[in-house]
Every structure is written in C-alpha cells, then in structure tokens.
Structure 1
Amino acid sequence: MPSPAATSEDAAKSGFVEERILDAALVQFGQVGVKKTTIEDIARRAGVDRVTVYRRIGSRDDVVSAVTGREVRNLLAELAELPARHDTLEDLVAGIFVTVVTRWRTHPLVERMLALEPDRLLPQLTTGGAGVFLLAVAATTELLRGGLRAKALPEPPNLDIRVEIACRIVHSVILQPVGTIDLDNDLAAFARTHLAPLLTAR
C-alpha cells in the first residue's frame, strides 16, 4: 500500500501534467483555433503523448471544456480578492463588472473563437453554459455578501435574484458589446450608475 506522502506526490505530478496539457491547449487554441487543433498538436506542445491527453483530460471537446472551466476558476479567484480593495459596495460592484467584462473581452481564446468559431464557443456560453452561469451567479452573490458583512451593512432583500439579473446584463454585454450605450470608455461609471442601484436598493 503506498504511503500518504507517495500518494500526495503522485497527485501533485498528475495535476502538473494536466496543467501542462491545459496550458498547451490554451496556446494552441489561441494560435490556430479549436477546429484546426488536434489532440496530437496539444500533446506535442505539452511534451506528452496523445494517450496521456486522452487519459488525463479526454477528447478535444473535453479539453475545450477543461480549458474554459479553468479560465473561469482563475477569474473567480481574481474576483475573490476584490472586496478587500474597495471601500464601498458601489465600488465593489464596479470592480467586479470591470474585471469580468475586461477579462472576457480581451481573452485571446475568447476573441479568436468569437471571431472564427462562434458556433463552437457560443453554445458553451449560452444554451450549454448553464453550469458556468450558475457558478458565476453563486460566486458573485457570495462576493457581495462578504463585502456587506465586512462593512457591517445589511443585506438587501432578494440579493440572489438581483445578482442573477445583473449577471444576465453582464453576460449580454460580453456577447454583444455593440449598442447605443457607450461601454468602451467608462465601464466603472456604467456599473455605478446602473448595476449598483439594482444590487443595493432597498
């Protein structure tokens, strides 16, 4: 029977290999898109064989899902640091909005797939993206609750519903940035004017 230390070391090595595969896939997808990427391309870039990719992650679609999921988790980790940086709830709302919209708008993989392969990406963000959307709603709700607790402020009624409405607005802004509202020059001002009242009004 392997010792706990050996088991832990094996798990660390396994995690390192998976991270290498996802790093390689992210670069490969960003350079040539998903459609032109093969498991062999990813394996070669990661320095492993194709069987390892299949065993650790799965098919190409599984790799896409794994890469997307990791990018979402990285963003959520970044958002978790925001409450400590903002003195008011309005500033926190603006910080969350600016961070989310900016990260997704400028993400190289998202930019390339929206431009060249929207049929592959859009289902993951719309009809097939329920899991990611619900995760975003739950994480944002907890962020705001944490900010309220830290500032000893009462929680507005139906906060979870309000957050979901706000997340739907953010989702729309990411997918369709073009409109009559100027969202290029001051995202923070838009958030303070339109989203903060939605989330904080009593």
Structure 2
Amino acid sequence: MEKVKPPPSPPDRTPDTASLLERVYGAAGESAGAGDELRSRILDAACEQFATLGVRRSTIDDVARRAGVSRITVYRRFATKDDLVEQVILREFRRYFDQFRADVHPADTPGARVVAGFVGSLRAIRGNPIIGGLLSAEPDMFVGSIMGDQGRTVAVVREFTAAQLRREQRAGLIAAEVDADMVAELMVRLCASFLAIPSQIVDLDDETQLAALAERYLVPMLGPAPKKKQQKEQ
C-alpha cells in the first residue's frame, strides 16, 4: 500500500494544528508498519471498550482484559489512559481521512466531490465506533471535546479539507481566488454543528436531503468554474 504523505502546509498553519495533523499521519504510519501487533491489538480493544462503555467509565484494566494482556503490558506502550485515548482518536482521524478519499474518488467534478465528502463525512463520523459512540452515549463529552480544545479538532479536519481544495486549485478546477482555508472552515463547522446539535429540519439519516443541502449551500462556495484556456493550434 502506498504511503500517504501529509498534505502541504499553508503559511498560516499554527504549530498546534501542524503537530496534530502530522501526528495523525505519523500514528497511521506507525500502526501500518506492523512492527508491534500487540500495540494494534490494544488499540483495537480500547476502541471496542470506549465504544461499548464510554471513555469516562472505561479503565486501563478494562482495556487490558479485552485485549487479553496484563495492565502492565498496556502501560508499557501507553504511559497513561489519556495517552491511550489520544492514540485511539488519532487512528480514527486517519481512518476518517482515508474514508473521505474513498467517498470522493468516484465523483468527476469539484462540486460533486464536495457533495460526496459532506454526505460521506456525516455518515462516517456518525458510524464511527468512537465518535459515534460519544454522540450517543456521552454527547456532553463529544461537544466538550470540540468546544473545549481551543479549536484543535476542528482545525485539523479543516486543514485536511483545505488541502483537498488546494489540490483542486492546482489542477485548475477551482479558481485560485477562492480562499481554501475559509471555505474549508465553514464546511467543517457546518458539519460539526449538525453532529453536535440535533436539527429539527435536517434529517441526518436522509442522504438525499443531505446531498441537496450540500449542492445548494456548499458547492456555491467554490465560486464559478475557471474558464478553460484555449490551446493554440500547432
């Protein structure tokens, strides 16, 4: 499998955001290396445990039992519960990014990719065993993680989304004048708000409605399609 490189950094990316985005890819590379199968087993067990009982009520002992190892073995790889939780979340970030790419790949225009990305993101995040579990079992913790981390969670997803938009710009499919960072910020915050605050108007289970919403309100953020340059006849 081809190793995915981190997306290019914009000039104004903050150190905190850069660190988190790089750690998302770094953690993925570490797990993909297959150098420590036991570490992956512990992360799988932690993911199942957190999804079943929630992060707050789960302990290292719970994770160790589910993984079939001793608590000392867990601590040798993850110094604290917070460290374990962070590594689980970083891995889920990477899985979400990979799923996003898979969702938008079949689309043949920037607008269609925005629609596919928006609908796919809501589906993937709500179905994620960790994030989806927090949404249903510990909604206050989910909202707190978004609102209480100085915007780092939103920032890392925005950075990933902006990188996709800049790739479209380099290909000449989105006008260079479009502010990729601001468009990504608005798209990610809209998605996060639907996840965090139940809507009485938008049914998140109705993907046809979600696609229509994205087509009407998100795609116009891309601006008019750049005019194709006419090639001179040789």
- CA 1:34/1:95 → structure 2, altered by over 3 Å: closer, same or farther? same
| Structure 1 alignment gaps of length 5 or more | 1-7
Amino-acid identity (%): 33
CA distance in 1, matches of 2:83, 2:224: 42
User: Is 2:192 aligned against 1:132?
Assistant: no
Match for residue 73 of structure 2 among 33, 52, 59 = 52
Alignment of 1:154-169 (within 5 A): 154-169=175-190
Alignment of 1:4-153 (within 5 A): 12-14=34-36, 16-128=37-149, 130-150=151-171, 152-153=173-174
Is the CA contact 1:43–1:49 (under 8 Å) kept in the aligned structure 2? yes
Which aligned segments of 4 or more residues in structure 1 are displaced greater than 6 angstroms? none
- CA 1:92/1:193 → structure 2, altered by over 3 Å: closer, same or farther? same
When normalised by structure 2's length, the TM-score is: 0.72
The residue identity in structure 2 corresponding to 1:199 is L
CA distance in 1, matches of 2:153, 2:144: 12
CA distance in 1, matches of 2:173, 2:133: 43
Considering fraction of residues, name the structure with more helix. 1
When normalised by structure 1's length, the TM-score is: 0.82
Partner of residue 5, structure 1: none
SS state of the match for residue 85, structure 1? Answer: coil
> How many aligned positions are there?
192
RMSD: 2.5
Deviations 1:143-170 (CA, angstroms, capped at 9, x unpaired): 1222344464433422211211121111
Q: Give, in angstroms, the shift of residue 201 of structure 1.
A: 4.9
User: Is 2:225 aligned against 1:195?
Assistant: no
Deviates more, 1:192-201 or 1:164-173: 192-201
